[in-house]
Structures are given as C-alpha cells and as structure tokens.
Amino acid sequence: MASTATTPPPYGASEQLEPLVRRVLARNPSPFTFTGTQSYIVGGGGEVAVIDPGPDEEDHIAALVKAIGNARVVAILCTHTHHDHSPAAAPLAALTGAKVVGCAPLSLVDDGPRADASFDTGYHPDHVLMDGDSVTGEGFTLTAVATPGHTSNHLCYALEGTGALFSGDHVMGWSTTVVSPPDGDMSDYMASLEKLQTRGDRIYYPAHGPAVTKPSQFVRGIIGHRRQRENQILRLLEPGSSTIAALVPQMYAAVNPALHPAAGRSVLAHLIDLERRGRVRREADAGDLWAVAG
Ligand SMILES: [Zn+2]
C-alpha cells in the first residue's frame, strides 16, 4: 500500500487526537516501525488506559508517565507481543500500579516454535481478554476485538460509543502488515479483515503511521491487494515450480530490498493459505519449492 508522507510528531510529546484519545510516539523508527511505535492514552478524566506501551526505553516510559500525570491507570493493554509493543508494559505497571490486561502471551511450550526473535517473551499479563471482553474507566469503555493473523494473539480495541478502533499492527496507515508463519497466518488475517468490515468504525488508530480515516474503504483496498498478491503468485507458478527466493524479487521489485526477507514471510503465508485451499502444492519434500496444484 502507498505510504502517506507526514511530518513525524515530536518524540515523547502527548498529542490530543480527540477528547478521549492522546498519542505518544516512541523513538524507535525503523523500516518496520515507520516513525516509531505510537502508544495511546485513553480517557479524559481521572482514569486512563494505556494501549501498546511500546519498547522498554527509559525516555518513552518517562514520556508516558508525564502524559498520564495524576490520572489512575486502570489498565495497560497490548495489541500483541512483538518487541516494539509490549516490553514497556511491566516497567510501566511497576511505576503506576496498573494491571497488564489484554492479549494472551504466546505459549511456546504448547504451541511449538510459533514465536520468533521478534516476540517479547517477558510479557506476563495479569488478565487475558477474550473477544468481546471490556475494560472500563471513568468515561470510557474499551472492548477487545480478536484479530489474529499478523500474530495469533492480536487484539484490536474499540473505544465504545466513539467509532474509534485501535488497530495495532493489523491495519496500519503506512504499510501492509507482515504476516510471518508459523505464528502469522494469512487465512486468519483475511478473516480478521473481513471481521473489521462488518463493524463500521469511524477511524482507526494504528500502532504505526497516520490514523486511517476511511476504514471501510481502506480495508477493502487491503483485501483487494492481498487477492492481487495471491493471483500474482499463481500466475508466476503457472510455467512451473518456483521458490520464495525467486518469487520475491519479481513480486516486490518496487520495494526496498531490505524489506524483501519480510516480504518473503508474507509470500510463504500466502502459499500456506493457497495450499490449504488446494490451489498450490509443495514439491515432494523439497521444502521451499512450490507449484500450482492439479
Ligand atoms: Zn507486530
């Protein structure tokens, strides 16, 4: 998706986006995080919640504490447990006395090697929210919207009565999300996009990049983009079997080569999804060698 050029706001400042929503940008810009992780402070009265406290960096945590001021923190919520989202949860909880509530930790023992180096293994929530569970503070209610795909434990949070949805890394204003198997799952991701389409939200506040002001149109665009990628893979496999390493440069010629390994993860996610649907098959035991099925 096209990225939108915006001037990055000053790192560490508390920006008021609407009556119940403030944003504090962490200084962790990268090709994967755009200008950095955006932590959100929700609530306008004596109580607030913090969504995606971000990386465990002293400056950022100090900026959050300053923005929180004298308000009571009713919950620290994470959308998922990638390194740029959840590591500040524990230190912020220690400083504010708040509970860490939200997405599930990944169970490495039970789920096998689902988590890779990008996961925060130090994440230990006090309470896990399921789809539809809510957290309430003075003047606001946040409801979890389960949106697996980018990660299996991804939650968005709806700010009830306002039409605002905190979309984490599921839908971002600057780039399509990376779906990296085995924890990332393209079938789940597409189903989670369809799920958002049924909601009719007014605005999305993602963890990276500008707010999405026409969510329905935007999500329809992402679904279309993924279907195009899928068709492109099927077309490129038409003449014979191929590898992800050979597909990526053809599919992502316009994309910064530094991002090609991540793009390769999303291509793998598409291939696994297509394999489940009987559209492609793996050549024998060759691993990364794929062909059109039948
Ligand atoms: Zn992520």
Instruction: Give me the residue spans of the domains in the chain.
Output: 14-224, 232-292
- The full DSSP string for 51-86 is E---S--HHHHHHHHHHHTT-EEEEEEES--BTTTS
C-alpha distances in Å from residue 251, one per residue of 49, 229, 234, 245, 267: 41, 8, 12, 11, 9
Q: How remote is the CA of residue 85 from the centroid of ligand 1, in Å?
A: 7
| pLDDT score recorded for residue 52 | 97
Q: Please state, in angstroms and rounded to a whole number, the distance separating the CA atoms of residues 269 and 212.
A: 25
- φ/ψ of 6, rounded to 5, equals -135, 155
Q: How remote is the CA of residue 70 from the centroid of ligand 1, in Å?
A: 30
Three-state secondary-structure class, residue 242: strand
Q: How remote is the CA of residue 166 from the centroid of ligand 1, in Å?
A: 13
Examine the pLDDT at 42 and tell me if it is beyond 60.
Answer: yes
Q: How remote is the CA of residue 51 from the centroid of ligand 1, in Å?
A: 14
E strands, 96-152, in order? 100-102, 127-128, 134-137, 140-146
Q: For tokens 């969510």, name the residue.
A: 215
Per DSSP, 106 falls in state P
Confidence at 6, pLDDT banded by 50, 70, 90: low
Q: How remote is the CA of residue 177 from the centroid of ligand 1, in Å?
A: 8
Structural contact between residues 172 and 36, judged by C-beta atoms closer than 8 angstroms: no
The average confidence (pLDDT) of the chain is 91
Q: How remote is the CA of residue 33 from the centroid of ligand 1, in Å?
A: 9
Q: How remote is the CA of residue 139 from the centroid of ligand 1, in Å?
A: 29
Q: How remote is the CA of residue 37 from the centroid of ligand 1, in Å?
A: 10
Confidence at 109, pLDDT banded by 50, 70, 90: very low
Structural contact between residues 80 and 105, judged by C-beta atoms closer than 8 angstroms: no
Residues in the chain, overall count? 294
Q: How remote is the CA of residue 189 from the centroid of ligand 1, in Å?
A: 13
Q: For tokens 């606001």, name the residue.
A: 140
Q: CATH top-level class for 14-224?
A: alpha beta
Three-state secondary-structure class, residue 39: strand
Structural contact between residues 5 and 175, judged by C-beta atoms closer than 8 angstroms: no
Three-state secondary-structure class, residue 223: helix
Task: State pTM to two decimals.
Answer: 0.92
Q: How remote is the CA of residue 80 from the centroid of ligand 1, in Å?
A: 7
Structural contact between residues 199 and 192, judged by C-beta atoms closer than 8 angstroms: no
| Cβ count near 247 (within 10 Å) | 22
Both structure tokens of 53: 């406290």
Confidence at 182, pLDDT banded by 50, 70, 90: confident
Report the CATH number of the 232-292 domain: 1.10.10.10
| Cβ count near 195 (within 10 Å) | 18
Both structure tokens of 43: 């609530």
Render pLDDT for 211-268 as a digit per residue (tens, 0 to 9): 999 999 999 999 999 999 999 999 999 998 999 999 999 999 998 888 898 899 999 9
Is the CA virtual torsion 40, 129, 104, 259 positive or negative?
Answer: negative
What percentage of the chain reaches a pLDDT higher than 90? 76
